[in-house]
């Protein structure tokens, strides 16, 4: 079995150090110019390793072909280059802890921060592994630059070893996945794959074909503004109205910090404005369409009740679809899931399929006609300063990719 450890470590630490945070408030595509820095780098690297049809599209996705050496379906592979807006992702300083000793990991730029196996059981199983983290002030960005590193490593290996039999492969490195805009409407046609996979998952063995269904909601509150010294009977302060809406939402059964497994949630992500006008943003999540619609109805009912309590205010609640559970389509044709599971078992792994409490580019791509389950990379504690990944886990994911494409070229019985 080929040792990809050094290449994966080099690629991830190089990619993670490039700022590429997306911005949900931007209408541009990509949403931030800085994402083009890593996209152009990948474009150049793909050309350098000999990939075909390399292009950076007008919508900010890098596409490339690994020509087939055997018959079979055209298989797509995707990873996203953007990092999450929820936490500082500027100036990431990746560092490698070689031969992890099983103890608590400290962070040079944040001495108060500790990554402990006591609270991270998966970390406890990685003694002897090489662990990559950031320095304590930023997230790492293994979500999903680990996926980028895995696919680039696998692509280079296949191009350097044409004797390995595999069908035609299509690569796509997307921007803006973290803000739900990674799959442009033109991508399914441009990808031209029979089915695809995102490398954007967690623990080794995870092969995911079920995700949240997701909507976003924006609540606008317009009060009545007047000088506070002259406000009696006239002022309508938007801030207390915003607080009433937040407080009126179901707490124990609807907050993400109090839910798990198959529970959905209503999550307030932003509150901006002042006394005259406030904007609240929410994400709504559920595994079923009915549950998602119910959560939207709850939020709208709360807004209507607060509006009724203060008719001089103006409160609107707008709900926009984001993505839907990929299971709705994949359960009708499990071919890509079965292929990935068979490849995992051939590597001695027992595949685990658990619902993703989130979404991937694969959620949208599946909905748009290209079946696209999600495969593991090893990333853990994503979207925060305790994010980490094992280089050895990434190597297993790379082997899975290579095994999968070789099995895809074999005729079915």
Longest dimension (CA), the chain: 83
Give yes or no: 53 in active site: no
Query: What is the CB neighbour count within 10 angstroms for residue 251?
Result: 10
Q: Of these residues, 177, 208, 286, 387, which one is catalytic?
A: 177
Both structure tokens of 23? 């911005």
Contact 66, 168 (CB under 8 A): yes
Rounded Cα distance between 148 and 179, Å, is 18
Rounded Cα distance between 148 and 238, Å, is 44
Predicted confidence at residue 1, as pLDDT, reads 62
**Cα separations (Å) of 195 from 76, 335, 370?**
6, 9, 5
Predicted confidence at residue 362, as pLDDT, reads 93
Q: How far is CA 216 from the centre of its chain?
A: 16
CB-based burial of residue 3 (10 Å sphere; 0-12 exposed, 13-18 middle, 19+ buried)? exposed
The residue among 298, 289, 230 whose CA lies nearest residue 267 is 298
Rounded Cα distance between 212 and 370, Å, is 18
Q: Of these residues, 7, 82, 176, 208, which one is catalytic?
A: 82
Q: What is the mean pLDDT of each run of 10 residues along the chain (413 residues)?
A: 91 98 93 98 98 98 98 97 95 98 97 96 97 98 98 98 97 95 96 98 96 95 88 90 94 82 92 96 95 96 96 96 93 95 97 90 94 98 97 98 95 58
Angle of helix 391-408 relative to helix 335-346, nearest 10 degrees, comes to 120
Residue with tokens 């809406």, as numbered in its chain: 245
Residue with tokens 């909905």, as numbered in its chain: 367
Contact 361, 151 (CB under 8 A): no
Indicate the DSSP class of residue 258: G
The residue among 264, 84, 55, 259 whose CA lies nearest residue 178 is 84
Rounded Cα distance between 378 and 82, Å, is 18
Give yes or no: 109 in active site: no
Rounded Cα distance between 266 and 285, Å, is 7
Cβ contacts of residue 348 below 8 Å, gap of 6+?
Answer: none
The residue among 32, 20, 18, 67 whose CA lies nearest residue 46 is 67
Query: What is the CB neighbour count within 10 angstroms for residue 99?
Result: 9
Predicted confidence at residue 412, as pLDDT, reads 57
Q: Where do the domains of the chain lie, and which CATH numbers do they carry? A: 5-211+325-408 (3.40.630.10), 213-322 (3.30.70.360)
The angle formed by the CA atoms of residues 74, 152 and 52, to the nearest 5 degrees, is 50
Predicted confidence at residue 254, as pLDDT, reads 81
Written as one string, the DSSP assignment of 112-147 is: T-EE-TTT-HHHHTTTTSPEEE--SSS---HHHHHH
């Amino acid at each position: 079995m080929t040792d990809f450890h050094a290449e994966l470590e080099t690629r991830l630490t190089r990619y993670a150090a490039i700022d590429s945070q997306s911005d949900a408030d931007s209408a541009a595509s990509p949403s931030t110019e800085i994402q083009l820095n890593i996209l152009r780098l990948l474009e150049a690297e793909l050309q350098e390793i000999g990939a075909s049809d390399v292009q950076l599209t007008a919508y900010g996705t890098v596409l490339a072909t690994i020509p087939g050496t055997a018959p079979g379906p055209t298989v797509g592979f995707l990873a996203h280059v953007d990092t999450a807006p929820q936490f500082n992702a500027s100036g990431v300083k990746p560092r490698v802890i070689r031969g992890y000793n099983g103890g608590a990991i400290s962070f040079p730029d944040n001495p108060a921060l500790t990554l402990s196996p006591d609270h991270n059981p998966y970390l406890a199983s990685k003694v002897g592994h090489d662990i990559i983290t950031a320095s304590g002030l930023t997230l790492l960005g293994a979500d999903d630059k680990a996926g980028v590193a895995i696919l680039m490593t696998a692509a280079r290996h296949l191009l350097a070893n044409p004797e390995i039999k595999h069908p035609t492969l299509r690569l796509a490195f997307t921007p803006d996945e973290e803000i739900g805009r990674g799959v442009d409407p033109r991508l399914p046609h441009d990808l031209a794959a029979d089915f695809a996979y995102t490398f954007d998952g967690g623990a080794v063995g995870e092969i995911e074909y079920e995700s949240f269904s997701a909507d976003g909601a924006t609540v606008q509150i317009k009060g009545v503004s007047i000088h506070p010294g002259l406000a009696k009977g006239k002022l309508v302060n938007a801030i207390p109205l915003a607080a009433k809406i937040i407080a009126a939402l179901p707490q124990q059964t609807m907050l993400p910090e109090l839910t798990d497994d198959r529970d959905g949630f209503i999550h307030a992500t932003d509150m901006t404005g002042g006394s005259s006008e406030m904007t609240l943003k929410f994400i709504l999540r559920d595994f079923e369409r009915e549950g998602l619609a119910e959560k939207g109805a709850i939020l709208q009912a709360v807004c209507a009740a607060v509006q009724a309590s203060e008719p001089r205010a103006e409160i609107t609640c707008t709900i926009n679809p984001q993505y839907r559970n990929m299971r709705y389509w994949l359960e009708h044709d499990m071919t890509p899931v079965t292929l990935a599971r068979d490849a995992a078992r051939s590597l001695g792994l027992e595949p685990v399929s658990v619902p993703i409490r989130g979404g991937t580019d694969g959620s949208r791509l599946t909905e748009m006609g290209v079946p696209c389950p999600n495969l593991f990379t090893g990333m853990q504690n994503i979207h925060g300063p305790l994010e980490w990944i094992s280089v050895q886990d990434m190597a297993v994911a790379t082997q899975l990719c290579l095994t999968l494409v070789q099995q895809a070229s074999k005729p079915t019985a």
